[in-house]
Chains A and B, each alone.
Chain A
Amino acid sequence: MAATTTDSPVHGGHDPDVDRTKQYIVVAAVLAVFTAIEVSTYWFPKEFPVGLSTGLLVFLMIVKFVVVTAYFMHLKFDKRLLTVVFYSGLVLALLVYLAVLTTFRFWGPVEDHMVPPTNAPAGAVSTGSGG
């Protein structure tokens, strides 16, 4: 690999002289390990509580997300405005869509999803007759 010094900065906000190759490979290895752990949940015994495996999967997903954005996409080393701009979109999406799911009673039993609380009897398969 060629020498890493540059004579003029071509972008602001981080230092191009540092060779980040090693860091990237380590990050990629970490991501691969996490992915392997995630995939392994496919083979968890049926008795394993669903909440726990879901929690583990969501946790790993978030970690991978943050790691890719922080290191590969450089947010950790760039100006904070970029993090603010991107994460506000992300957080907004999270809040809004979680609220939408909540009004659909997504967190309850499957039969109650999308069934309007005022009309159909409990447990009835929805015909979408609300609203």
Chain B
Amino acid sequence: MASATTHFPEADAPDDDVVHGGHGYATNTGISNTKLAMWLFLGSECLLFGGLITTFLLYKHPLPGTGPSPHELYDIPFTSISSFVLLMSSLTMVLAVTAIERNDLSRFRLWVVATALLGAVFISGQVYEFQSFLSEGMGYTTNRSSSAFYTLTGFHGVHVTVGIIMLVSLLLLSLRGHLPRERAESVEVVGLYWHFVDVVWILIFTIVYLIP
């Protein structure tokens, strides 16, 4: 009965490009499975958001007489502040990753909380903005532009919310001592998702709000 712990010469291949993808085993590419998987997922998200952005662009102007267009109702200064908030949350996210990589767990928790809070501020800003549009006569079903606007920004908002949940999960895990430096990659991967959500907002802010 052969045992797997017996070493066969061919199992000891040279580890040129080894990274520890998990329990100390190597991956062919040198990138961990989880990180590669997250980037693949983010690549696919480009196609999803691209479809929603395209829909918005096609439906940007409502038919005459069907109600206000989003353009008439934007409060650019307000949305700029929201955008700035989300941008800064990317900074705090990246500081959180740096902190855990340095084993500075209390700083890590601080920055994670900051990121989640900034995200929550952003979401509140969105909710407020939607409510003001609603009161000015642009509901979800008002016209083709309103449906497209709310769907695109709503999808983005749901993504942000999911991100906040993930950040809070990381915080809770850390508070219970389950998130040491060895697990920094989990934080990095959540960070990738968070930055992507920020990057999508960079696109939305310009394409939806700013371009005349």
State yes or no: do A and B touch (Cβ within 8 Å).
yes
| A interface residues (Cβ-Cβ under 8 A, vs B) | 1-4, 6, 9-13, 16, 19-21, 24-25, 27-28, 31-32, 35, 38-39, 41-42, 50, 53-54, 57-58, 60-61, 64-65, 68-69, 72-74, 78-79, 81-82, 85-90, 92-94, 96-97, 100-101, 104, 106, 110, 113-114, 125
Q: Which residue of B lies closest to A114 (CB)?
A: B58
Residues of B within 8 A of A101 (CB): 54, 57-58
Chain B residues whose C-beta falls within 8 Å of the C-beta of A58 in the assembled complex: 206, 211
Q: Does B109 have its Cβ within 8 Å of any Cβ on chain A?
A: no
Cross-chain contact A64 with B30 (CB below 8 angstroms)? no
Q: In chain B, residues 1-56, which have Cβ atoms closer than 8 Å to a Cβ of chain A?
A: 17-20, 29-32, 35-36, 39-40, 42-47, 49-51, 53-54
Taken together as a complex, chains A and B put the C-alpha atoms of A35 and B119 apart, in Å, by 18
Given contacts A35-B87, A89-B42, 16 further A-B contacts (CB under 8 A): A1-B102, A10-B181, A11-B188, A21-B95, A31-B87, A32-B88, A41-B210, A58-B206, A61-B203, A68-B195, A78-B31, A79-B31, A85-B36, A96-B50, A100-B54, A106-B57
Q: How many A-B pairs with Cβ below 8 Å? A: 164
Q: Is B185 interfacial (CB 8 A cutoff)?
A: yes
A1 cross-chain contacts in B, Cβ below 8 A: 102, 104, 107
**B 83-139 contacts with A by CB, 8 A:** 83-84, 87-88, 90-91, 93-95, 98, 101-104, 107
User: CA of A85 to CA of B205 in the docked complex: distance in angstroms?
Assistant: 25
Residue from B29, B32, B84, B199 in contact with A65 in the complex, judged by beta carbons closer than 8 Å: B199
**Chain A residues whose CB sits within 8 angstroms of the CB of B101 once the complex forms:** 6, 10, 16
Q: B residues within 8 A CB of A81?
A: 29, 31, 36
The reply to whether A89 and B43 form a contact with Cβ atoms under 8 Å apart is yes
Give 9 closest A-B pairs by Cβ, nearest first: A89-B43, A12-B19, A93-B50, A28-B91, A61-B206, A93-B46, A39-B80, A42-B76, A89-B46
Cβ–Cβ < 8 Å partners of B156 in chain A: none
- B61 proximal to A (CB < 8 A): yes
CB distance from A33 to the nearest CB of B (A): 11
Cβ of B206: which chain A residues have Cβ within 8 Å of it? 38, 57-58, 60-61
Chain B residue at minimum C-beta to C-beta distance from A10: B184
How far in angstroms is the closest Cβ of chain A from B3?
29
B81 to chain A, nearest CB (A): 9
Q: Which residue of A lies closest to B81 (CB)?
A: A39
The 16 sampled A-B contact pairs (Cβ below 8 Å) are: A3-B102, A28-B91, A32-B84, A32-B87, A38-B206, A60-B206, A65-B203, A72-B90, A72-B91, A72-B94, A79-B29, A89-B44, A89-B46, A93-B49, A96-B50, A125-B63
CB proximity of B64 to chain A, nearest CB, Å: 7
* In the complex, B196 has a CB within 8 A of chain A: yes
* Interface pair A10/B185, CB less than 8 Å apart: yes
Q: With the chains together, A65 CA to B138 CA distance in Å?
A: 30
A34 CB to closest chain B CB, in angstroms? 9
Bound together, the chains give a CA A64 to CA B90 distance in angstroms of 12
The CA of A6 and the CA of B181, in the complex, are separated in Å by 10
